[in-house]
Structure 1
């Protein structure tokens, strides 16, 4: 477990370094409990360079994620199909799509849902781009419910789980 946390920290630091012209094959997702509005907010952060290669390989060799909103939406739909959250009892939590944002060298995809009652754990799946690149690593940070917890998905991980502290 400690090795995964250390790897998560290292990958998080790498995501903030200067991006070379090479694919990073790393993405970060943040699951944030926003108690002010009683929502779980999900923010997927992909390197734009990776997303550009992915849409060409996954959907259409002439796909243009920079200027084509339809391509952006297709990529967002793909990410939503690859990502899921379940309660500890196996009940799937229904996330709603909020939007997409191009921000410098990153592409952000946003989702949200109301915080369910009696939530004491999560089972999370995040296989984004791992079907395309087995070396793809996806870091998921969970914040706003106790200490920050991190899960690191490689191509051998289907579902990882965390326990959540009781809400006060």
Structure 2
């Protein structure tokens, strides 16, 4: 019995390690209305394993997001081109690049802008990696303007509107 339980535990551990090695095809972004800085701070978190596969598809088989600052910069720019915010009047909100980093299992992209004076809502578009993998799911959390609002970009959803009360 002891060997059976140990064997089952070993199988579960191996399967969970294998699952972590596969692409997740999911990203999480946060749009934070920071009252201290009066900025809108945007952070995007991609699984590094997904980003590794993506850069080879986008930039060629020699792209290396782990060891190449050039590839990291290209992926950073790619993400910034595929994420946008518009105010409730439909006007673009220009996001400035802040930077990027590799942190453990994740690749982070950071952007920011000053909060517009009057803002009753946002339109969000997040298509990063969805042009490569239709099954990619991008989740965006909007924080700092009342309750946290979450929008998920999957399937045919390309744009989401959020109203603030």
What are the superposed Cα offsets for residues 91-113 of structure 1, whole Å, 9 maximum, x if unpaired? Answer: 00000000001100000000000
User: Number of aligned pairs?
Assistant: 149
By percentage of residues, which structure has more helix? 2
Contact in 2 for aligned 1:125/1:159 (Cα 8 Å):
yes
Match of 1:7 in 2: none
Q: Which has the larger radius of gyration?
A: 2
Aligned twin of 2:93: 93
Rounded to whole Å, the distance in 1 between the matches of 2:68 and 2:123 is 34
Report the secondary structure of 1:110's partner residue: strand
- Which runs of 4 or more aligned residues in structure 1 lie more than 6 Å from their structure 2 counterparts after TM superposition? none
1:27 pairs with 2:27: yes
Q: What is the SS of the residue equivalent to 1:20?
A: helix
CA RMSD of aligned residues (A): 1.2
- How much has 1:155 moved relative to structure 2? 3.8
The two structures have a TM-score, normalised by structure 1, of 0.86
Match of residue 70 from structure 2? 70
User: Separation in 2 of the partners of 1:101 and 1:80?
Assistant: 14
1:55 match: secondary structure? helix
Distance in 1 between residues matched to 2:157 and 2:127, nearest whole Å = 8
**Distance across 1 between alignment mates of 2:34 and 2:62:** 39
TM-score when scaled to structure 2? 0.88
Separation in 2, partners of 1:131, 1:161:
21
Q: Which runs of 5+ in 1 are unaligned?
A: 1-16
* Counterpart for residue 139 of structure 1: 139
Q: Distance in 2 between matches of 1:43 and 1:164?
A: 20
